[in-house]
Amino acid sequence: MPKFHSLLHSCCIVLAALTSTALHAAALEDAQALWASGKRDQAIQAAENALKTTPDDPRLRFTLGTMLMEQRQLERARVIFTSLIEDYPDLADPYNNLAVIHAARGEYEAARQSLTRALELQPDHAQAQENLGDVLMRLAQQAYERALKQPLGDDSALRLKLQRVSDLNNGKRPAS
């Protein structure tokens, strides 16, 4: 009988874990459905409420951080992504999203460092690759601007480089 009791206890634990996982998935799906239907504030509230019962759910935390980032609540999103990085240092996506926040604040070197880490973890992360390219262009623009402040002889080539990277950074197509 003790073996049966132990087996029954183990089954109950597994069932509780599966039920809990299903509830977490449902809460995540509910928040995402609200978001997709344009009910942004309700989606954020649903995610925050779900996190009260499952504060360690990384997918729910990441989703909330992404929602906050898209709503321009950058500091709240930064806290979530930083916390995810501390708790799950092997996930690339929180580093990528943290880099987007850094870049939005003009913190390009911090963004570059976060993207470099994301790509160390997941070299084929296409969004992180694109974001790194954008950040490197911003850093190039800053370097060219600093170089132009120094006494140079003929700076026409430097000015041309600055104009090209500035145009790219501002969404203009380069002249052929």
State the DSSP string of 63-120.
Answer: HHHHHHHHTT-HHHHHHHHHHHHHH-TT-HHHHHHHHHHHHHTT-HHHHHHHHHHHHH
Q: List average pLDDT for each run of 10 residues in the chain, which is 176 residues long.
A: 41 38 68 85 90 90 94 96 96 97 96 98 96 95 91 82 88 59
Structure tokens given for 164? 């090209």
CA 76 – CA 122 distance, rounded (Å):
25
Two tokens, residue 63: 């989703």
pTM comes to 0.78
**pLDDT tens-place string over residues 95-145:** 999 999 999 999 999 999 999 999 999 999 999 999 999 999 999 999 999
